[in-house]
Chains A and B, each alone.
Chain A
Amino acid sequence: MITETLTKVLTSYGLISGFAVIGATMWVSYWLSAKFTRGRLHGSAIAILLGLVLSYVGGLYTGGQKGLVDIPLLSGIGILGGAMLRDFAIIATAFGVNPEELKRAGISGVISLAFGIFVSFIAGVSVALVFGYTDAVSLTTIGAGAVTYIVGPVTGAALGASSEVMALSIAAGLIKAMAVMVVTPFVAPLIGLNNPRSAVIFGGLMGTSSGVAAGLAATDPKLVPYGCLTAAFYTALGCLLGPSLLYFMMRGLFG
Chain B
Amino acid sequence: MIIYGVALLSICTLAGLFVGDLLGVLLGVPSNVGGVGIAMILLIFGGGYLSKRGLLAGKTEQGIEFWSAIYIPIVVAMAAQQNVVGALSSGPVAILAGLLAVGLSFAMVPVLDKLGRPDAAVEKKSHEPGTAAQATATATVQR
Contacts and interface: CB of A to CB of B under 8 A. Distances in A.
Contact of B83 (A88, A120, A164): A164
Contacts of A202: 109
Nearest to A83: B78
Interface stretch (A4-12, A33-41, A93-101, A217-225): A93-101
A193 interface: yes
Given A87-B13, A187-B135, A201-B109, A25 B76 contact: yes
A157 to B, nearest CB: 8
Nearest to A245: B34
Contacts of B98: 145-146, 171-176, 179
A91 B43 contact: yes
B97 A128 contact: yes
B70 A56 contact: no
Interface residues of B, number: 86
A142 B86 contact: no
A206 interface: yes
Given A183-B102, A198-B113, A201-B109, A67 B12 contact: no
A94 B44 contact: yes
B105 interface: yes
A228 interface: no
A95 B87 CA distance: 33
Contacts of A193: 109
B131 to A, nearest CB: 5
B115 to A, nearest CB: 7
Q: How large is the interface on A (under 10, 10 to 19, 20 to 34, 35 or more residues)?
A: 35 or more
Given A123-B101, A179-B142, A55 B84 contact: yes
Contacts of B43: 91-92, 94-95
Contacts of A23: 73
8 contacts: A77-B80, A88-B9, A91-B40, A107-B116, A108-B113, A173-B98, A190-B131, A240-B41
Interface of B: 9-10, 12-13, 16-17, 20, 23-24, 27, 29-41, 43-45, 47-48, 61, 64-68, 70-88, 90-91, 93-110, 112-113, 115-117, 124, 127, 130-131, 134-135, 138, 142
Interface of A: 18-19, 22-23, 25-26, 44, 47-48, 50-56, 58-60, 65-69, 74, 77-78, 80-82, 85-99, 106-108, 111-112, 115-116, 119-120, 122-124, 126-128, 130-131, 133, 142-143, 145-147, 149-150, 153-154, 158-160, 163-164, 166-176, 179-180, 183, 186-187, 190-193, 197-198, 201-202, 205-206, 210, 235-244, 247
